[in-house]
Chain A
Amino acid sequence: MLALLLTAALIFFAIWHIIAFDELKTDYKNPIDQCNTLNPLVLPEYLIHAFFCVMFLCAAEWLTLGLNMPLLAYHIWRYMTRPVMSGPGLYNPTTIMNADILAYCQKEGWCKLAFYLLAFFLLPIRHDLCFGELIEQRRRIGPVKCMQTASNEGIISSKVLFPRVAYGI
């Protein structure tokens, strides 16, 4: 359950990023403000994802771990190469308006969203397998419920959030 919540949080982060960059692109927000709101979210997202990886490692869930490793490596690389900044975060208000960087960030947001959504739907299944033995009965009923909530949330989020994106354009 926790895992699902966390994945939902990741999805939320990804969508938030997409919206934020879209707002930048359409001159809706000042880049300084936008970077100030985005930067604090970067580390939590990365940490949550790293936490997942650690959990998969503990559960010896090699396949899932394998799927997640590239993203983990990407996150590490991304944070290592971040611009010189005194605070946490990735985004630099002076370069963010560059069309290349903006397009890159948006693309990154969409890719992550897709990845997290996939994880969100696969997780319950995998979850059942990996944690099922550790936490027993609850899980039996869990997957179905989880699937339901997942799809509900998914639909809701896409309905609520996607129009905003379209509106921005």
Chain B
Amino acid sequence: MAQPGIPAARGATASLQAQNGAASASGSPYTNGPVQNTLMSSQVSSSQGYDSQLPGSYPRPMPAKTLDPVSAQLNYGGSQGSGQTLNRPLVASNPVPPPLHSGPVTRMPPPTSQNLAATPMPSASFLPGANPPPPLNWQYNYQSTGPQTNHFPHVAQPTMSGNTNLTAQHQYVSSGDPASFIKPGSALPLQNPPLPTTFQPGAPPAGGPPPQKAPPRAAVFPPSLNSTVNHEGVTSNPNNGSMVAHSTYDQIEGGGFLATPQLINQNPKMSRSVGYAYPSLPPGYQNTAPSSSAGMPPSSLNYPSGPQAFTQTSLGANHLTASMSGLSLHPEGLRIVNLLQERNMLPSTPLRPPVPNLHEDIQKLNCNPELFRCTLTNIPQTQALLNKAKLPLGLLLHPFKDLEQLPVVTSSTIVRCRSCRTYINPFVNFLDQRRWKCNLCYRVNDVPEEFMYNPLTRVYGEPHRRPEVQNATIEFMAPSEYMLRPPQPPVYLFVFDVSHNAIETGYLNSVCQSLLDNLDLLPGNTRTKIGFITFDSTIHFYSLQEGLSQPQMLIVSDIDDVFIPMPENLLVNLNESKELVQDLLKSLPQMFTKTLETQSALGPALQAAFKLMSPTGGRMSVFQTQLPTLGVGALKPREEPNQRSSAKEIHLTPSTDFYKKLALDCSGQQAAVDLFLLSGQYSDLASLGCISRYSAGSVYYYPSYHHQHNPVQVQKFQKELQRYLTRKIGFEAVMRIRCTKGLSIHTFHGNFFVRSTDLLSLPNVNPDAGYAVQMSVEESLTDTQLVSFQSALLYTSSKGERRIRVHTLCLPVVSTLNEVFLGADVQAISGLLANMAVDRSVTASLSDARDALVNAVIDSLSAYRSSVLSSQQPGLMVPFSLRLFPLFVLALLKQKSFQTGTNARLDERIFAMCQVKNQPLVHLMLTTHPSLYRVDNLSDEGALNINDRTIPQPPILQLSVEKLSRDGAFLMDAGSVLMLWVGKNCAQNFLSQVLGVQNYASIPQMMTNLPELDTPESSRTIAFISWLREQRPFFPILYIIREESPMKAAFLQNLVEDRTESALSYYEFLLHVQQQVNK
């Protein structure tokens, strides 16, 4: 490549500088050392790639992701850094030296000193050098630096566990000298020694992240040299997910954010890399803990890390110092909050998950919290400690989320631990090039020959640079060992209720129309099969055999003993019979318009559908509009409207196990049932829902659906149906969750069947489903400093490929109660508690569940008060990380699932519970604690820019009437519904420019759409609302509410901080909690 040449020219100088910069910048490699690094890394970690941030820092604004050839090189660097992360801890001290070059290097001086020196050192020395070279490569540089640094560490330290610093240089060497690659160890020494000093100056002290960044980039250059080798592979990866040259590396889905940087990784030169395992956590990790506390903004985290880095040399000592420094630096996270005195705890931007207190290098590789998140980012060492904290330990997963980029690996051997079958992941330790130690069971495994070759870089002998070791989220193409049978074709079966009641609602039109429109968009391939069944008191099948001139309807009236007439023609190949299918969809809505049949034989229809599906498995979509009344599975109305208020006598449990048993049968045959319930009356969702719950389907509920009387509901139904039909789908899936020895899985929450202690059977998996897992600490974790969780989802894609999607999460272990509290993730805790409360409602009673929620707050805060706070101050003292805990629990108590009062219909409550169990955390939190924005004064300040659209980002307000004002307009985003409340004295400007009405009185009573006006205010508002809608798989209806609107009650109900007829206000709730805590 062209680049190589250039870089080479710059050669030594550039490389040196680069390294310096890199050292500091890369942070990760040296992690410990340079403060700057930490900053950098921290930022990076929070976001996904380093890129974005780095560019900013430089004077020259390079686009983060340039695709230039050069950039490719950069990527390498980046990748390297990530790859090596593991090792880094050790390295930390080294950072600087490498850049300087080769000289003779001895091992680094005391690491701490070096670091300090390095950091403080003015960038000047480096910068000059760095800058010149960088320009060409900018982008490269930063990435590259990272990696390089990593390399170095590896090399140098191979032997050394403690100080790897020197190693960093190796890479350079390697780049420079081919030989170095081969013999990392030898090369290293040379380079390392001199460098340190110089670098350091370059790196500015912790203070300015940006400056620091710059140096790193400079460092990059050297990498570029190396990169030459790798370039091709690398380049493709970062930028274009799909492009990768190597066959092995498919980026079908694009690299995940995480993935990208990592992909880049290929350090050509690294030979040794693995040398040490970072396993033994550097003291730094632990230290950071305080800083990491939940609420902290990323930046804060960084600081702490900085201090740590310095100290790192001695593990034990560092600890203390680091933590101390962390404290002083970051009071915010460690702060103890008196909730009774500080009212405005709700941040005005969306709450971010806490960053685990890990070494930057490890954290950088960690799984995205949207996919995989733990309620406690500091895992307590023992069950006793966990019990003391009274906080639930668990995971929240969104394993099949649509990702923009996801690295996909095709390899004939998938490297897994031989004893626990864990997939190789970024958190394993390479003992040397040939052996790796499992991070879950600690078994030492051999690295297979094939794994030694890195397809991305085309370099042999770098197992630690493989994408599997660089990405916490990765997908494997599974070979035939992972198949019990040939991958099934995508099979879609639609079961429609066509009784009189169903025809009345007019839903059939919408569904058939949607299906017609999306027939070509159904995920699938040439093998896709489709079939239809309709039922009222009898069951109707449709023969779509190729060659028929029109679909043929077959009626089975014997619902007591259902059989399948001509089974081979009922599920047909979509491509071959497309015209017949289209014919059928066009004529279906008209076929039953005159039906007088009011009975519904859902049970027998499901049995028939099951029989039809059982040879292949697939997806059944059932549309039901009333209580099933005929045949097996017939249900009786159980709801007594006047008893809604009493929490005791409500029927949350199924009245029959027919649906559950059928669901288990379906699950066994790899068929999932998705239930669409469109019903005005009580339909006993508690019983019907089992059919989806245990077959891993999903439930959709449209109360009072009617094509004429309820047009808003129709719009919502159509949008969601479209998403449903076209979203990704995985068939015949199983998901296994593994965790480090000592932890064990207690309970699963979600829609699936639990087949063994850690295995979920998911006949279908969809990207909108979330899962929760309760964990317990079975054995003491005192010997370990890190624990890992790995979820592996094996599924058949709609293209007929067997794939495994693996997510790995790594978290630190702590031994004190205070640290456990500091690492609490309040959103995840609330989400897990909600799941547990649903179970409790079903097994015990709703009031029990409500009490349990309140007790969860009281118990944990009492534990905090009695065990952590030394002095007993008055008020309600909570750790900063849990400052929103009482608020979220109060919001849960007022959520539809758990609220008391007469306004929740039983089916709606049960649907809300289904959603709690099946939704990913983000959406659950939104429905629990809606976001309130003021929208009558939207401005472009702080706005997001996405694809040329400007999306205003108004601050989030507290959910209290006191935040409302009559002269404003407020938008409440409650997940599945949006409510725009317009104050009586709202500015005329807003009324006319956004709502398009003359005055307040002319706002229609039932307004559900904003007119598209040609005004900046209107476009801002619409951009904001559509942006909110795009972020979720369901379609929230927008209600515009004025003083007298019927929806106003719902709006006020969602203001959870206020008092309602049956529930406490936030302040009253706090007083109650305080009273109990202080007992």
A25 in contact (CB, < 8 A): yes
Give A84-108 as 1s and 0s: 1 = Cβ < 8 Å from B's Cβ atoms. 1110000001100111100000000
Q: A27-B759, A86-B661 are in contact. Are A99 and B655 (CB under 8 A)?
A: no
A69 in contact (CB, < 8 A): no
Docked CA distance A34–B694 (Å): 17
A161 in contact (CB, < 8 A): no
Task: Give the residues from 742 to 789 in chain B that come closer than 8 angstroms, CB to CB, to chain A.
Answer: 744-748, 753-759, 776
Contact status A85-B668, CB under 8 Å: no
B664 in contact (CB, < 8 A): yes
Q: Is the interface of B mostly helix, strand, loop or mixed?
A: mixed
A30 in contact (CB, < 8 A): yes
Instruction: Select B745's contact among A85, A93, A99, beta carbons within 8 Å.
Output: A99
A109 in contact (CB, < 8 A): no
Q: A84-B654, A85-B657, A99-B745 are in contact. Are A94 and B754 (CB under 8 A)?
A: yes
Contact status B756-A94, CB under 8 Å: no
B residues in contact with A32, CB < 8 Å: 664, 668
Nearest CB of A to B651, in Å: 11
A residues in contact with B664, CB < 8 Å: 32, 93-94
Contact status B756-A100, CB under 8 Å: no
Contact status A99-B746, CB under 8 Å: yes
Which residue of chain B has its CB nearest to the CB of A30? Answer: B755
B residues in contact with A94, CB < 8 Å: 660, 664, 694, 753-754
A124 in contact (CB, < 8 A): no
Nearest CB of A to B299, in Å: 40
Contact status B759-A86, CB under 8 Å: no
Contact status A84-B757, CB under 8 Å: no
Nearest CB of A to B953, in Å: 42
Which residue of chain B has its CB nearest to the CB of A101? Answer: B747
Q: A100-B746, A100-B747 are in contact. Are A84 and B756 (CB under 8 A)?
A: no
Q: A94-B664, A100-B747 are in contact. Are A86 and B657 (CB under 8 A)?
A: yes
Q: A94-B694, A97-B754, A97-B757 are in contact. Are A84 and B655 (CB under 8 A)?
A: yes
Instruction: Select A27's contact among B661, B753, B757, beta carbons within 8 Å.
Output: B757
Task: Give the residues from 7 to 24 in chain A that come closer than 8 angstroms, CB to CB, to chain B.
Answer: 24
Contact status A31-B755, CB under 8 Å: yes
Nearest CB of A to B387, in Å: 14
B653 in contact (CB, < 8 A): yes
Contact status B746-A84, CB under 8 Å: no
Docked CA distance A58–B748 (Å): 49
Which residue of chain B has its CB nearest to the CB of A85? Answer: B657
Interface size on B, residues (CB 8 A): 24
Contact status B653-A99, CB under 8 Å: no
A residues in contact with B694, CB < 8 Å: 94
Docked CA distance A97–B758 (Å): 9
B residues in contact with A98, CB < 8 Å: 746-747, 754
B1067 in contact (CB, < 8 A): no
B residues in contact with A93, CB < 8 Å: 664, 753
Contact status A97-B746, CB under 8 Å: no
Which residue of chain B has its CB nearest to the CB of A28? Answer: B756
Give A69-85 as 1s and 0s: 1 = Cβ < 8 Å from B's Cβ atoms. 00000000000000111
Docked CA distance A98–B842 (Å): 14
Contact status B755-A84, CB under 8 Å: no
B937 in contact (CB, < 8 A): no
B656 in contact (CB, < 8 A): yes
B658 in contact (CB, < 8 A): yes
Instruction: Select B756's contact among A83, A86, A97, beta carbons within 8 Å.
Output: A97
Docked CA distance A83–B758 (Å): 23
Contact status A99-B657, CB under 8 Å: no
Docked CA distance A85–B657 (Å): 5
B residues in contact with A99, CB < 8 Å: 744-747, 757, 776
Contact status B655-A25, CB under 8 Å: no
B residues in contact with A25, CB < 8 Å: 757
A residues in contact with B747, CB < 8 Å: 98-100
B residues in contact with A86, CB < 8 Å: 656-658, 661
Docked CA distance A94–B747 (Å): 11
Contact status B754-A31, CB under 8 Å: yes
Docked CA distance A93–B754 (Å): 8
Docked CA distance A27–B656 (Å): 28
Contact status B756-A27, CB under 8 Å: yes
A residues in contact with B661, CB < 8 Å: 86
Nearest CB of A to B604, in Å: 16
Q: Mind listing 17 A-B residue pairs with CB under 8 Å?
A: A27-B758, A31-B754, A31-B756, A84-B653, A84-B655, A84-B657, A86-B656, A86-B658, A93-B753, A94-B660, A94-B694, A94-B753, A97-B755, A97-B756, A99-B744, A99-B747, A99-B776
A sample of 17 more A-B contacts (CB under 8 A), given A32-B664, A98-B746, is A24-B756, A24-B757, A27-B758, A27-B759, A30-B756, A31-B755, A83-B653, A93-B753, A94-B694, A97-B748, A97-B755, A97-B757, A98-B754, A99-B746, A99-B747, A99-B776, A100-B746
Those 8 A-B pairs whose CB atoms lie nearest each other, nearest first:
A27-B756, A97-B754, A99-B746, A98-B747, A84-B657, A85-B657, A86-B657, A84-B654
B→A interface (CB under 8 Å): 653-658, 660-661, 664, 668, 694, 744-748, 753-759, 776
